[in-house]
Amino acid sequence: MAPDASDRLTTPRDSNGLSDTPSASAPESGAERRAGRLPLEPAGPCRYRIPRDARPFMRVPAVVIANSTLLAELRDDPALEQLANVASLPGIVPPALAMPDCHWGYGFPVGGVAAVRASDGVVSPGGIGFDINCGVRLLRTPLREADLLPHQEKLADALYRAIPSGVGSHEGLPLDQRDLEYVLARGVEWAVERGYATAEDVRMIESGGRLAGADPDAVSRRAIERGISQLGTLGSGNHFFEVQVVDAVYDREAAAAMGLEVGQLCIFIHSGSRGLGHQVCQDYLDLMEAAMRRYGIQVPDRQLACVPIQSPEGRRYLAAMQAAANFAFSNRQGLTYRARQAFRKVFGEVPIEIVYDVAHNVAKFERYTVEGQEIEVLVHRKGATRAFPAGHPEIPARYQAVGQPVLIPGDMGRYSFVAVGTAQAMTDTFGSICHGAGRHLSRNAAKKQLRGKDIAAELRHLGILVRTPSPGALAEEASIAYKDVADVVEVCEAAGIARKVVRLRPRVVVKG
């Protein structure tokens, strides 16, 4: 469903990376201006193609991963027009992709994937998003649900005290500018040196918790100022910290490799690069909009501002984006450290280990076979998760036999999933799948429908305790506001691009 006009923000909700929804005050996008539905052709199991000639500016066709039910909901969302716009980017290789959790975003749809040739393609900040390296981390504990129940209130309170959350939270781990520059350049290595992480933690993080090529000098002073007090903070909106219980296992081999079994307590963390990443995106959008004229680049929507990857502006943006991604990996590490402290206060010495950590707002150089030729591409994933198969050299040794864990959060009243990537994802979707449930209602629409409802009380009735500094904002994140993530995951599995491993249900939720 398209957001209400009153939900639209000039850029996604400032320092907390809540959404990439354009604002009513922002210039009207090409997706909003054009009238008339795009043609959609069945193109295989849970696949629909928008042909290249659907819009005169499209360079490649687009593919939507969906079933008929999800497609019907998406049919009148401007996200499909945004997908057609993405197919216009110089250097893009076929196809432009939308995952089943797709919805309208800033420039690119959330749930969008685009691969462009590294040699002569462009990079677009809108294809990464304002919350650079917004992502998810899964932690496992040896505790069982029976261990939680007598201490559920105490744990909820301990986590809420330990985890700074909410709009503009600035109670981050102590660091000065030199520390922050180290974080930007080296990622989680800083946390290991300071005792906030272990060497084993690093092995269980995508890219080892560090994107090479990061340059702190490419990050503006304003971005530094915004990020220096936010490392190890949650933010607000759809960011969360949840204690969950594994309640179903679908793939025993993969679950065993991840150390997961029914009844086990786990922790899902969803957060990103906070105000620092937001400022990096804004800085370079402004720069690129002016630079496009120099490079003779025209796009159907100004929110798709882009420059050649190999240009000075493109290289500098990528260096800043990689630095912000390193900040986000370290931010989730700071939250992990605080979680371990809170659990220790309630349960004593309990080992809490990282299952995996994945980014879902990032661009990475990868190699794929495109039209019979292996080439290097820059894969933009905006609300989409990397999903590499068994045997891929970039996944930890522990998962070589089963595939990369893919962490797919749902909503705070239902469930989340863990899946693994497949070889078909490498051939069909540039090694990518969904990143979550995807919004069903705008924030304002959800608040209107739930006016007068006590969301926290309703969740408590389901055995879920919520702690938040903004109780009035819970309606924006209620289950009714989201698609059913089980439907989204089923589509990914039916399309052959992922395999379900476990389902988890929330028991304690900390929201911003």
- Give the architecture (CATH level 2) of 5-511: Alpha-Beta Complex (3.90)
Report the DSSP beta bridge partners of residue 369.
Answer: 374
Sort 397 into a burial class: Cβ within 10 Å, 0-12 / 13-18 / 19+: exposed
Give the rounded percent of residues in the chain with a pLDDT score beyond 70. Answer: 92
The answer, yes or no, to whether residue 8 has pLDDT greater than 50, is no
Tokens encoding 393: 């050299």
pLDDT at 29: 52
pLDDT at 96: 98
Instruction: Round the average pLDDT of the chain to a whole number and report it.
Output: 92
Distances (CA, A) of 132 to 15, 236, 362, 409: 12, 15, 6, 18
Does 270 qualify as catalytic in the annotation?
no
Q: Are 8 and 26 in contact (CB under 8 A)?
A: yes
pLDDT at 256: 98
pTM over 0.85: yes
- Dihedral over Cα of 176, 283, 241, 202: its sign: negative
pLDDT at 450: 87
Strands 62-65, 498-511: pairing kind:
unpaired
Catalytic site residue from 103, 360, 435, 440: 435
Mean local confidence (pLDDT), 239-256: 97
Q: Are 108 and 114 in contact (CB under 8 A)?
A: yes
The answer, yes or no, to whether residue 28 has pLDDT greater than 50, is no
Query: What confidence tens digit (pLDDT) does each residue in 141-175 have?
Result: 999 999 999 999 999 999 999 998 866 667 889 99
Instruction: Decide which of 18 and 74 is more confident.
Output: 74
The answer, yes or no, to whether residue 5 has pLDDT greater than 50, is no
The answer, yes or no, to whether residue 11 has pLDDT greater than 70, is no
> Which amino acid type is present at position 266?
C
pLDDT at 37: 87
pLDDT at 441: 84
Give the rounded percent of residues in the chain with a pLDDT score beyond 90. Answer: 84
Instruction: Decide which of 299 and 22 is more confident.
Output: 299
Query: What confidence tens digit (pLDDT) does each residue in 368-387 have?
Result: 999 999 999 999 999 999 99
pLDDT at 39: 95
pLDDT at 165: 83
The answer, yes or no, to whether residue 73 has pLDDT greater than 70, is yes
Domain boundaries, the chain: 5-511
The answer, yes or no, to whether residue 208 has pLDDT greater than 80, is yes
Mean local confidence (pLDDT), 343-351: 97
pLDDT at 75: 87
Sort 158 into a burial class: Cβ within 10 Å, 0-12 / 13-18 / 19+: buried
